Chains A and B, each alone.
Chain A
Amino acid sequence: QLQLQESGPGLVKPSETLSLACTVSGGSISSSSYYWGWIRQPPGKGLEWIGSIYYSGSTYYNPSLKSRVTISGDTPKNQFSLKLSSVTAADTAVYYCARDGTAAGQGFDYWGQGTLVTVSS
Chain B
Amino acid sequence: SYELTQPPSVSVSPGQTASITCSGDKLEDKYVCWYQQKPGQSPVLVIYQDTKRPSGIPERFSGSNSGNTATLTISGTQAMDEADYYCQAWDSSTVVFGGGTKLTVL
Contact = CB atoms under 8 A, between A and B. Distances in A.
Interface string B26-44: 0000111101010000111
B88 A107 contact: yes
Given A105-B30, A105-B49, 15 more contacts: A46-B97, A47-B43, A60-B95, A61-B94, A62-B94, A64-B1, A105-B32, A105-B50, A105-B90, A106-B33, A108-B35, A108-B45, A108-B88, A109-B45, A109-B48
Given A47-B86, A113-B42, A63 B1 contact: yes
Interface of B: 1, 30-33, 35, 37, 42-45, 48-50, 54, 84, 86, 88, 90, 93-100
Contacts of B90: 104-105
A7 to B, nearest CB: 15
Given A46-B86, A47-B86, A105-B49, A37 B100 contact: no
